[in-house]
Amino acid sequence: MSGISRRKFLKSTVVAGGSAAAAMSSTKKAHAMKEFGGYPESMGVLVDLSRCIGCRTCEAACNKEHGLPEPEKAFDDFSVFDEVFHKGKQKRRTTEKAYTVVNRYDTKDQGAPVYRKLQCFHCSEPACLTSCFVNAYTKTKEGAVIYNADVCVGCRMCMVACPFSMPAYTYDSALHPEIIKCNFCYDSRLTKGKPPACVEACPQDALTFGHRTTLLKTAHERIKAKPTKYVDHVYGETEVGGTSWMYISNVPFDQVGFNTTLQHHPILDNTKSFLGIVPMVLGIWPAMFLGFHLLAKGGKGKTDEKSKNRVEVQGE
Amino acid sequence: MKHFIEKGFKPVDSLSDPTDGHKWKLMQKLMLGLSPKEYFQQLRRNPFNWFLFMIFAVGFPVIVYRYINGLGSVMHGGFDYPWGLFLGFGLFSMVPLSASGFLLGTTVELFGHKNFKPILNLALLNGLLGYFFAVVFLLVDLGCPWRLYYPMVVSWGTAAVLFLVGWHVATYLTVQVLEVSEAFFEWIGWPTAKNYIHKGTIGLTVAGIILSTLHQGALGTLLTYAPGKVHPLWYSAEFMWIFFLCSSVFAGICMVIAVSTIIKKTMSWRCSDEFLGNLDAITIGLAKGASMALVTYFVIKLIGLIHDNQWSYLASGWGKLYMVEICFGVILPVILFSFGIRRKSVGLIRFTAFLTIAGLLMNRLNTVLITFNWNLYQEWPPLLETIISVTIFFLFVTVYRFLLYRLPILYSWKTVPAKELASVPVTEQTEQAELISVKSEHQYAKVVTPS
């Protein structure tokens, strides 16, 4: 009897110990989860600006892949590079008709012009997603940030929140307005393990598709191999908490239209201090203000009711 | 209307006609007790009605045009400027200007400052209509307005600050409808419903404070999603919510002063003697509150500057705009308010209230529109967008006036004589009860003190 019970006891201790250990490890995980940092298996694209020749093949491939409307100027018309908007303050940008655009930059440091492809950066912790009040955005485990027009209310908060101002909106549609942006060819290619159409079409190998972690290594290796050629920075490694599309460049990033003043943690973090006070206000305010109320009334209100009851009792 | 009042006409202020004792019909109440002919006569005579008519004649077709041709037909439709006047003015400015409901509710119901009681209903209505029309502005601005309820029912984006704003504005709107419904039930003649709502006053007021604290702050927090786009002088990652909350305090108070000024000038016939007689004293009291909030706001704005070390921006062109906003919208009002309070100059206080409102409008528009994308390019709201905004604003004015004419907001509803008779014994009883309670308290005190 006692043997069995001892064995039982030992067994239960082991089980208990094991589960406690499991519980501990899960709390560790829970702590770690406070900082998301992106999916481990996330795919990405590395753009090497020094390799891009501005042939616009990627633009054409994207247009074809997604069945977008034909542009005013054909994809082999390079006069688009001279287009400027808003009194010269802005070059071409992504629109409701183009998920991606390439712009030319005549830089001081480099004799030849530098071209930059622009599209959704597919952030690890996207501001569009975290600012959306109907959860219209999803960050898939493959790394794509995709959008669901079926629940979108059209508040355009995501456009305000996007640090790269990438989302476009079909303002002209009265009945089905929606956000238009690059979706990493999620349905047609990414889920099948294939690279996006633009990457596949690039004749210069300027775009490299792969796991984000691998791409980061590749990027740093390229910089290390030619330190005089490249700027020692991988744009998108830490910007706004990391992005799936990353850039390396042979000219300073601010000379080719990149915003180099972005924060190096997710945009979501900016709202956390406020969101933290929400439960506190909900928890503290009722008691505090009712307390103030009782203080201000000096207990008058209560005696009124009590005495009323008393009168009734006396009357009886 | 003044014309009729001069002739000795009295607008409806009780359930039944005092001359013959029959109950007012709904149509009669709606027409303030005038005959249809008289009512339309006075409608035609008032030049302001013609002004409104002209605005709506231009504005309503533009609104219809927007729904047929999409947002792009009236807004500039820039991808870098997703928000325009509808949100910059309609949401970000109307909501702080409507903080009056919770502020005066707290003062009167919670802290028991009954001397502000005559203006409480006006403050509540101002809050309700401001929020309601903020939602109307949303209905124009949203790409799919018919999905307005989606964040409530269909899909929850719980991590988003806008989710909190949406829910809170919706709940707070309900709270305010309940608060104002007391006046409505009185007017329509359902005293039971009124009394039922009245029991919940304290609960509603506390709910109002909680919801207001959070969503006024949340509106500021919305901008922390766009750290690089909002100009650093108008941006603070840590303090954005408290800037917006604090400025809503003086904005709400000044709005009540401003509205009551207009009422005094244009519809004194509808005000009770209690309202008109106390208005000057109340205005001075409100000015005290507003100037405290303004001083606090100035101090925390200064702390914000120091905290983020943004002095260098003050020298830039944007810095000048910032200085104008702070000087004319915050510092000057504080000085003028204190002069007005000290010299009991109600006129100066009223002028300052309008100035403060202008300052707040400037702040919100600067933050959301004018300095937005400060390092990119500037975009100005196009004509049609402005026309729609003006139209909806005057729709707000129209509804506001319509309700003030009718509901017992500026005057107290006279109860029916028959009811008064019934209620007399009750009041006597309570008086007796008070007497007894005072006595018993005395006795209690006597018993306690020796021990």
Residues B161, B162, B167, B170: is their CA dihedral positive or negative?
positive
Under an 8 A CB cutoff, do B434 and A159 touch?
A: no
pLDDT confidence of residue B326: 94
Confidence of residue A110 (pLDDT cuts 50, 70, 90): low
Chain A residues lying within 8 Å of B235, measured CB to CB:
none
- Contact between residue B79 and residue A160 where contact means Cβ atoms under 8 Å apart: no
Round to whole Å and give the CA distance between B208 and A285.
11
List CB contacts (< 8 A) between A99 and chain B. none
Asked if pLDDT for residue A205 goes beyond 60, the answer is yes
Hey, CA dihedral for B146, B152, B154, B155, is it positive or negative? positive
Which residue in A36, A303, A307, A309 has the most chain B C-beta atoms within 10 A of its own C-beta, making it the best mutation to test that interface? A307
Measured over the CA atoms of residue B341, residue B345, residue B348 and residue B352, the dihedral's sign is: positive
Give the number of other CB atoms < 10 A from CB of residue A117: 23
| Pairwise CA distance, residues B415 & B424, whole Å | 12
Contact A282 B151 (CB under 8 A): no
Distance from CA of A145 to the nearest CA of B (A): 15
Sign of CA dihedral A146, A149, A151, A153: positive
DSSP label of A195: P
The whole-angstrom distance between residue B185's C-alpha and the CA centroid of its chain comes to 21
Dump pLDDT digits (tens) for B343-379: 999 999 999 999 999 999 999 999 999 989 888 888 8
CA A155 to chain CA mean position, Å: 18
| pTM given for the model | 0.85
Distance of CA B225 to the CA centre of its chain: 27
Which chain B residue lies closest to A93 (C-alpha atoms)? B79
Which residue among A132, A292, A293 places its CB closest to the CB of B160?
Answer: A132
Q: Which residue of A has its CA nearest to B214?
A: A278
For residue range A249-297, list pLDDT tens digits in order.
999 999 898 999 999 999 999 898 888 899 999 999 999 999 988 888 8
**DSSP assignment, residue B374?**
T
Residue of B148, B437, B440 with shortest CB distance to A304: B437
The answer to whether the CB atoms of B148 and A153 lie below 8 A apart is yes
How far is the alpha carbon of A70 from chain B, nearest alpha carbon, in Å? 20
Tally the C-alpha atoms within 13 A of residue B354's C-alpha that lie toward its C-beta.
10
Rounded Cα gap, residues B219 and B211, in angstroms: 12
Q: How many angstroms away from the CA of B103 is the closest CA of chain A?
A: 13
Burial code (b: 16+ CB inside 10 Å, e: under 16) for B19-40 equals eeeeebeeebbebbbbeeeebe
Residue type, A152: C
* Dist. CA B153–CA B166, nearest whole Å: 12
Query: Phi, psi at residue A90, to the nearest 5°?
Result: -140, 140
Residue that the structure tokens 């010269």 belong to: A88
Interface size between A and B, measured as CB pairs under 8 A = 203
C-alpha–C-alpha distance, residues B244 and B248, integer Å: 6
Q: Which value, in Å, is the radius of gyration of the alpha carbons in chain B?
A: 24
Is there a contact between A147 and A136 (Cβ–Cβ < 8 Å)? yes
Mean pLDDT of chain A: 84
CB-nearest partner of A278 from B142, B205, B214: B214
Give the contacts of B123 (CB within 8 A, at least 6 positions apart).
B100, B101, B103, B104, B105, B252, B256
Can you tell me which residue has the tokens 């909002």? B230
Nearest Cβ partner for A131 among B75, B111, B160: B160
Confidence band for B159, pLDDT divided at 50, 70 and 90: confident
C-alpha B256/C-alpha B260 separation (Å) is 6
Burial class (CB in 10 A: 0-12, 13-18, 19+), A135: buried
SS3 A110: coil
Is residue A312 over pLDDT 50? no
Q: Which residues of B touch A274 (CB under 8 A)?
A: 161, 217-218, 221, 224, 240-241
pLDDT attached to residue A28: 45
Burial B166-201 (b: 16+ CB within 10 A, else e): bbbbbbbbebbebbbbbbbbbbebebeebeebeeeb
pLDDT value, residue B388:
95
Structure confidence at residue A14 as a pLDDT band (50, 70, 90): very low
The answer to which of A228-232, A237-241, B206-210, B424-428 has the lowest mean pLDDT is B424-428
Give yes or no for residue A68 having a pLDDT over 90. Answer: yes
Comparing B150-159, B176-185, B322-331, the range with the smallest average pLDDT is B150-159
> What SS3 class is residue A251?
coil
Query: Could A311 and B440 be called an inter-chain contact, meaning their C-beta atoms sit closer than 8 Å?
Result: no
Does A159 contact B79 at a Cβ distance shorter than 8 Å? Answer: yes
Confidence of residue A3 (pLDDT cuts 50, 70, 90): very low
Shortest distance between the Cα of B62 and any Cα of chain A, in A, equals 14
Q: How much is the pLDDT for B418?
A: 44
- Interface contact flag, B441 A303, Cβ < 8 Å: yes
Residue A239's pLDDT band, with cuts at 50, 70 and 90, is very high
Q: Which of B82, B210, B377 comes nearest A160 by C-beta?
A: B82
Task: Pick from B139, B155, B440 the residue to mutate for testing the A interface (most A CBs within 10 Å).
Answer: B155
Name the pairing type of β-strands A114-118 and A207-211.
unpaired
Tell me which chain A residue has its CA closest to the CA of residue B87.
A155
Give the residue with greater pLDDT, B451 vs A37: A37
Q: How far is A260 from chain B (nearest CA, A)?
A: 10
Q: Which amino acid belongs to residue B196?
A: Y
Residue of B nearest to A131 (CA): B160
- Assess whether pLDDT exceeds 80 at residue A201: yes
B198-219 confidence digits (pLDDT tens): 888 889 999 999 999 999 999 9
For A21-51, give the DSSP string. Answer: HHHHHHHHHHHHHTS----TT-EEEEEETTT
Quote the CA–CA distance of B59 and B383 in Å, as a whole number: 11
| pLDDT, mean over chain B | 87
Cβ–Cβ under 8 Å, residues B5 and B33? no
A78 pLDDT higher than 50: yes
When computed from its CA atoms, the radius of gyration of chain A, rounded to whole angstroms, is: 29
CA distance from start to end of chain A: 72
Q: What is the pLDDT of residues B57-112, one digit of tens each?
A: 999 999 999 999 999 889 887 899 999 899 999 999 999 999 999 999 999 988 88
Return the pLDDT at B26.
Answer: 81
Three-state SS for A71?
A: coil
Q: What is the mean pLDDT of residues A127-148?
A: 93
To the nearest whole Å, the CA of A90 is away from the closest chain B CA by 7
Nearest to B143 among A177, A267, A311 (CB): A177
Separation CA A103–CA A117 (nearest Å): 7
Query: pLDDT of B264-297, one tens digit each?
Result: 999 888 898 889 999 999 999 999 999 999 999 9
pLDDT at res. B376: 85
Nearest to B86 by CA among B396, B395, B386: B386
d(CA B397, CA B391): 10
Alpha carbon A92 to its chain's center: 22
C-alpha B180/C-alpha B171 separation (Å) is 14
Q: Which residue has the higher pLDDT, A162 or A90?
A: A162
SS3 of A187, please?
Answer: coil
Nearest to B228 among A87, A261, A274 (CB): A261
- Cross-chain Cβ contact B144/A93 below 8 Å: no
Tens digits of residue pLDDT in A155-190 = 999 999 999 999 999 999 989 999 999 999 999 999
- For β-strands A145-147 and A168-169, DSSP reports them as unpaired
Q: Please, which pLDDT band fits residue B27 given cuts at 50, 70 and 90? A: confident
**pLDDT computed for residue B29 by the predictor:** 81
What is the 3-class SS of B315-363, one letter each residue? Answer: HCHHHHHHHHHHHHHHHHHHHHHHHHHHCCCHHHHHHHHHHHHHHHHHH
Contact B433 A308 (CB under 8 A): yes
d(C-alpha A92, C-alpha A131), whole Å: 26
Which of B106, B157, B165 minimises the CB distance to A135?
B157
What lies within 8 Å, CB to CB, of B32 at 6+ separation is: B11, B12, B39, B405, B406
- Alpha-carbon distances, residue A89 vs A68, A83, A165 (angstroms): 27, 11, 15
Are B79 and A94 an interchain contact pair (Cβ–Cβ within 8 Å)?
yes
Chain A: nearest CA to B35, how far in angstroms? 44
Give me the interface pTM, i.e. the ipTM. 0.83
Residue of B205, B290, B219 lying closest to B252 (CA atoms) = B290
Residues 6+ apart with CB under 8 A from B283: B257, B260, B346, B349, B350
Looking at the complex, report in whole angstroms how far the Cα of residue B232 sits from the nearest Cα belonging to chain A: 12
Cα separation, A246 vs A209, in Å, equals: 10
Contacts of A135 in chain B (CB under 8 A): 155-157
Among A142-156, B145-159, B320-334, B418-432, which is the least confidently predicted range? Answer: B418-432
Q: Test A274 with B224 for CB contact under 8 angstroms.
A: yes
